[in-house]
């Protein structure tokens, strides 16, 4: 999927050998966004980093019963996929049906399924998750308002449930950073390294979980970004191993979460010349995610790379230059099959590398 083979050297350089578990992947072909993923595509993408994954349906305009059954069937066929069911307040009883059929968790998407976290009809869903100590993955993307006071109220009333804010908790990270509830977790399924680094620097490592968001990203891209940001934030090897899969496996097995100690408590400051580079690369990523060319932003990023030979982060600038070369060489021959412009993930990888100086780089 996407440019995984071209990103691979940067992942390999991190030398992550612990088993991976991706807590955020989708299946489906009917999502109005035009994004899709088949079971075969998902398994192939996971095989690239030898990972297991939690999986749930993409948006299904006609309801989730059949889609949940399809996910359950795929999960029964091997040990790679772990089924989560997707439900709405209109059919809260679907959660219990799916859990009794083998689902290990629940996915809620208030944005695309148009409901509020405080909807009274979700009491049944949250009660089930509390009773059985189930993970509940909650969309927290940029198109919705912060959950605010509703979130801690739900967390307090259903302490047995393990709520996972997707996309680095974008909606509420500003006020949750440094003070999350013990039954609140964050997945890393977001493209901006600053958000992922902030989560890893301010949230206890036992409450951060690897997520990729297939088909909006890939396990290779997500694993690379998460591990690189975790190493940059100063996490110890056992803490990185927990983030990359150890804790997620405990949650889907309904085991008690492991305590991996406190958050590092700070995010290392960024060299101003790297900050210039990172900003232009992020602007390029944003354009490609709208299906547009990054245009002049990549010219500006290349200008940023012309630092003196003695600069302490010279290798980072050279690595970004190599990724931009790969983008310009390969993107014209690539297609994504969705609204993203080809090669978006190469530019996004360059942005991650620029934001995390001091982490291992490939010999290119």
- d(Cα 247, Cα 307) in Å, to the nearest integer? 41
Instruction: Let me know whether 34 and 133 are in one domain.
Output: yes
Give the residue from 252, 282, 312 where a domain finishes: 252
- d(Cα 277, Cα 40) in Å, to the nearest integer? 37
Predicted TM-score (pTM) above 0.85 = yes
Q: Is the peptide bond before 215 cis (omega within 30 degrees of 0)?
A: yes
317 alpha carbon, distance to own chain's centre? 25
Instruction: Let me know whether 238 and 101 are in one domain.
Output: yes
> What secondary structure does DSSP assign to 20-40, as a single string?
EEEEEEEEBS--TTS--B-HH
Q: Pick from 209, 252, 255: which is nearest to 104 by CA? A: 252
Instruction: Let me know whether 240 and 282 are in one domain.
Output: no
Look at residue 364 in the predicted model and tell me its pLDDT: 65
In a domain, 331, yes or no: yes
- Region of residue 133 (phi > 0: left; psi between -120 and 50: alpha; otherwise: beta): left
In a domain, 262, yes or no: no
Look at residue 180 in the predicted model and tell me its pLDDT: 85
Look at residue 179 in the predicted model and tell me its pLDDT: 80
- Region of residue 169 (phi > 0: left; psi between -120 and 50: alpha; otherwise: beta): left
Instruction: Let me know whether 56 and 145 are in one domain.
Output: yes
Instruction: Let me know whether 245 and 281 are in one domain.
Output: no
In a domain, 76, yes or no: yes
Instruction: Let me know whether 77 and 171 are in one domain.
Output: yes
In a domain, 260, yes or no: no
pLDDT tens sequence for the chain (364 residues) = 799 999 999 999 999 999 999 999 999 999 999 999 999 999 999 999 999 999 999 999 999 999 999 999 999 999 999 999 999 999 999 999 999 999 999 999 999 999 999 999 999 999 999 999 999 999 999 999 999 999 999 999 999 999 999 999 999 999 999 888 999 999 999 999 999 999 999 999 999 999 999 999 999 999 999 999 999 999 999 999 999 999 999 999 999 999 999 999 988 899 999 999 999 999 999 999 999 999 999 999 999 999 999 999 999 999 999 999 999 999 999 999 999 999 999 999 999 999 999 999 998 6
- d(Cα 229, Cα 151) in Å, to the nearest integer? 26
> What are the counts of helices (DSSP H) followed by strands (DSSP E) for the chain?
15, 8
Instruction: Let me know whether 155 and 280 are in one domain.
Output: no
Look at residue 218 in the predicted model and tell me its pLDDT: 98
Range of the domain at 323: 272-355
> What secondary structure does DSSP assign to 32-90, as a single string?
TTS--B-HHHHHHHHHTTTEEEEEEE---TT-SHHHHHHHHHHHHT-SSEEEEEE--GG
Domain count across the chain: 2
In a domain, 363, yes or no: no
> What secondary structure does DSSP assign to 348-363, as a single string?
HHHHHHHHSTTS----
- d(Cα 296, Cα 302) in Å, to the nearest integer? 10
**Residue 101 CA: distances (Å) to CA of 68, 69, 94, 134, 137:** 10, 9, 11, 14, 19
Instruction: Let me know whether 53 and 161 are in one domain.
Output: yes
Instruction: Let me know whether 217 and 294 are in one domain.
Output: no
Look at residue 266 in the predicted model and tell me its pLDDT: 84
In a domain, 261, yes or no: no
Instruction: Let me know whether 136 and 277 are in one domain.
Output: no
Give the residue from 198, 217, 252 where a domain finishes: 252
Give the residue from 224, 252, 280 where a domain finishes: 252
In a domain, 55, yes or no: yes
CATH code at position 226: 3.20.20.140
In a domain, 364, yes or no: no
Q: Which residue has the tokens 């090897």?
A: 237
Instruction: Let me know whether 248 and 99 are in one domain.
Output: yes
Instruction: Let me know whether 10 and 101 are in one domain.
Output: yes
Q: Pick from 145, 144, 165, 143: which is nearest to 154 by CA? A: 165
Rounded to a whole number of angstroms, the distance between the first and last alpha carbons of the chain is 22
3-state SS assignment for residue 250: helix
């Amino acid at each position: 999927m996407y440019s995984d083979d071209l990103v691979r050297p940067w992942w390999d350089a991190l030398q992550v050998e612990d088993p991976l578990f991706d807590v955020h992947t989708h299946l489906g072909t009917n999502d109005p966004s035009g994004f899709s993923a088949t079971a075969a595509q998902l398994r192939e993408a996971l095989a690239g980093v030898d990972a297991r994954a939690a999986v749930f349906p993409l948006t299904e305009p006609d309801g989730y019963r059949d889609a949940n059954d399809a996910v359950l069937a795929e999960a029964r066929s091997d040990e790679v996929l772990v089924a989560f069911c997707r439900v709405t307040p209109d059919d809260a009883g679907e959660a219990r049906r799916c859990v009794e059929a083998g689902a290990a968790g629940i996915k809620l998407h208030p944005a695309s399924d148009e409901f509020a976290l405080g909807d009274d009809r979700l009491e049944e869903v949250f009660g089930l998750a509390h009773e059985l100590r189930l993970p509940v993955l909650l969309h927290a993307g940029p198109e919705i308002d912060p959950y605010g006071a509703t979130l801690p109220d739900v967390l307090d009333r259903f302490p047995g449930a393990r709520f996972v804010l997707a996309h680095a908790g974008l909606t509420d990270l500003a006020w949750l950073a440094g003070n999350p509830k013990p039954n609140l977790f964050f997945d890393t399924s977001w493209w901006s390294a600053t958000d992922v680094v902030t989560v890893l620097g301010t949230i206890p490592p036992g409450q951060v979980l690897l997520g990729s968001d297939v088909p909006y990203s890939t396990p290779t891209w997500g694993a690379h970004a998460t591990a690189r940001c975790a190493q940059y934030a100063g996490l110890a090897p056992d803490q990185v191993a927990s983030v990359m899969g150890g804790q997620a496996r405990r949650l889907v097995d309904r085991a008690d979460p492991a305590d991996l100690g406190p958050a590092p408590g700070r995010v290392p400051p960024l060299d101003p010349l790297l900050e210039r580079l990172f900003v232009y690369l992020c602007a390029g990523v944003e354009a490609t995610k709208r299906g547009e060319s990054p245009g002049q932003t990549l010219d500006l990023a290349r200008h940023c790379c012309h630092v003196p030979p003695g600069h302490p982060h010279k290798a980072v600038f050279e690595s970004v230059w190599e990724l931009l070369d790969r983008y310009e060489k390969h993107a014209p021959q690539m297609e994504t099959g969705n609204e993203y412009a080809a090669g978006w993930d190469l530019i996004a990888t360059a942005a991650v590398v620029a934001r995390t100086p001091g982490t291992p780089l490939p010999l290119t």
